[in-house]
Amino acid sequence: MPRPARPLAANKPRPNGKTAATDAPVPRAQAVYKALRRAIIEQALKPGMKLPEDSIGEQLGVSRTLVREAFGRLAVEGLVELKPNRGANVAYPTLEEARDVFEVRRGLERLVAENLAGRLTPAQSAELEAHVRLEEKAHEQDGPESIRLSGEFHIKLAEMTGNALLLRYVQEASSRCSLILAIYGRPHSSECAVSEHRQLIEALRAGDAARAAALMDHHLQSVVTRALLAPRGERDIRDVLAPYALSEGLTPS
Amino acid sequence: MPRPARPLAANKPRPNGKTAATDAPVPRAQAVYKALRRAIIEQALKPGMKLPEDSIGEQLGVSRTLVREAFGRLAVEGLVELKPNRGANVAYPTLEEARDVFEVRRGLERLVAENLAGRLTPAQSAELEAHVRLEEKAHEQDGPESIRLSGEFHIKLAEMTGNALLLRYVQEASSRCSLILAIYGRPHSSECAVSEHRQLIEALRAGDAARAAALMDHHLQSVVTRALLAPRGERDIRDVLAPYALSEGLTPS
DNA sequence: AAGAACCGTATTGTATGCGATTATTGAAGA
DNA sequence: TCTTCAATAATCGCATACAATACGGTTCTT
């Protein structure tokens, strides 16, 4: 069912011939990349889902060329799996990969904490406080809002280091964590304990690098145990059926 | 001057019609990606160099499409800079970016050290020892061999963690370090002190995670001070002229 | 002669098309 | 009824073609 396929938000007609102030003609390839990235992170595209080039291109109003380019980049970031001659899927990390991601993330964010300890400007400090207050508010009605906010807290911290590479890696790891929690996480345990965020800010402001690092480490560790313990949606049918077989005295080959 | 343009190692004509056993038809896009990546790391393509799509495609025997795809991925990894409508260049990291990369790398490799401490199998241990011996031998004649080997030592360590993401990040950081040292590094100070590698192995084998992490940290720190201190080729004319201005009592705006 | 506007060329951005590979369906055989 | 196999449909891999943009040199203006 080929729907109208509106040509993506990008590059509006622009009434006057002049460039409208700071209007860099951003390549649409990047727009496609961002769109897919968001769709995956927000789980509009679910883990493991097939990603056919032309239907996606149709939906976004671009040709397969651009979609392919986006796939390539997303594959580097581990958000899509690219199988030769068999197309692309939203990545479906194994439990092992999940552990790897969390381990690396812990290392990275520990670095963030160490970097930031004793270097927060009053403005940054205030921004973090405000953010935590938002988290608390959202935590009460426990919507998806809560999840998004706790994620953003960590991104904000990474931004404040001023280290672009560190930010990129933290973002990447975070994205993959979203995927992972979508697969293996409990329904909606809002992943981060707000109180732990508070303590962390405290340590950062006090300039206690070691304590900040330890808090961060522990914080992320507990995210794993809190949210990641129960593998729900199995990837392989065999995993789903195994317990049934056992209870019936059958032995899977 | 359009030379013959031999079609890349990929997909040889294959005399018999049959697929030769385990012959996965690797996508040529990936071959292009790898080729460019290596060329950049080995500095056949120098930092800042222009990368025109069609001449590169011609040389590799592929169309611009594949070259562009490769550029996209390399850009994600920070090895090329992609400017809209103005093409691609080999990345030319600023000193600030350089520091960022080294900081992240330190964090990552510290993680490697912690992960590996007390977990080295005898085989791995032996492999590392052998590698260090190679380094020592190469160190005497101080060729480019020496540099390559010290880099590989770190990659080997990352591999041994079994953490794919960690390996990827360490590799990425290493690649960018190559670029950085090509710009800001001393001519051929073989970057790593072999003795430090030895000590590290020692600590890993002893299972002393804290000491291993500290050694790694210190080791990478000293790479920076050893090799990175003297900014040679400046990117910006202003940097070059500033000292002259000062010595003449002029004040740059 | 210095600067601005113009135009041809080179290069990039994107769509489309064709051959190749894989998935699917349905029929014949066991 | 369950396989095996073949024909067809769907999808991918890649090259090519066309449109849009930026660069360099030239000419025109002041």
Chain C bases closer than 7 angstroms to a protein Cβ:
11-17, 21-23
Confidence band, pLDDT 50/70/90 cuts, at residue A32: very high
Q: What is the DSSP string of B160-198?
A: HTT-HHHHHHHHHHHHHHHHHHHHHS-SS--SS-HHHHH
- In chain A, what are the domain boundaries? 28-90, 95-227
B20 CA – D3 C1', rounded, Å: 28
Q: What is the per-residue pLDDT for B127?
A: 97
Given a cut of 90, whether residue A65 has pLDDT beyond it is yes
Topology of domain A28-90, per CATH?
Answer: Arc Repressor Mutant, subunit A (1.10.10)
Q: Which of A69, A76, A79, A109 should we substitute to test contact with B (largest number of B Cβ atoms within 10 Å)?
A: A76
Q: Which residue of B has its CA nearest to A114?
A: B107
Q: Is B64 on the interface with A (CB under 8 A)?
A: no
Q: pLDDT tens, B24-44?
A: 667 899 999 999 999 999 999
Higher-pLDDT residue of B169, B227: B169
Q: How confident is the model at residue A2 (pLDDT cuts 50, 70, 90)?
A: very low
Q: Which stretch of DSSP H or E encloses residue A192?
A: none
Question: With an 8 Å Cβ cutoff, are A73 and B78 in contact?
Answer: no
Segment A174-203 mean pLDDT? 86
Does residue B86 sit at the A interface (CB-CB below 8 Å)? no
Residue from the list A26, A77, A104 with its beta carbon closest to the beta carbon of B166: A104
Which residues in chain A have Cβ-Cβ distances shorter than 8 Å to B26?
84
Distance in angstroms (rounded) separating the CA atoms of residues A56 and A61: 8
Helix H or strand E segment including A19: none
Tell me what the mean pLDDT of segment B153-180 comes to.
96
Residue B199, beta-bridge partner list = none
- Facing residue for B166 by CB, picked from A85, A100, A110: A100
Name all protein residues with C-beta less than 7 A from any atom of nucleic acid chain C: A 27-29, 61-66, 85-86; B 25, 51-54, 64-65, 68, 84-88
Give the gyration radius of chain B's Cα atoms.
21
How high is the pLDDT of residue B227? 74
Which pair of tokens denotes residue A214? 């330890």
**DSSP reduced 3-state for B135:** helix
Lowest mean pLDDT among B58-62, B71-75, B120-124, B185-189: B185-189
Taking chain A, what is the end-to-end CA distance rounded to the nearest angstrom? Answer: 42
Q: How far apart are CA B57 and CA A15, in angstroms?
A: 38
| pLDDT at residue B250, rounded to an integer | 61
**B228 vs A125 pLDDT, higher one:** A125
Could you confirm whether domain A95-227 is CATH 1.20.120.530?
Answer: yes
A115 contacts on B by Cβ (under 8 Å): 103
Q: pTM value?
A: 0.84
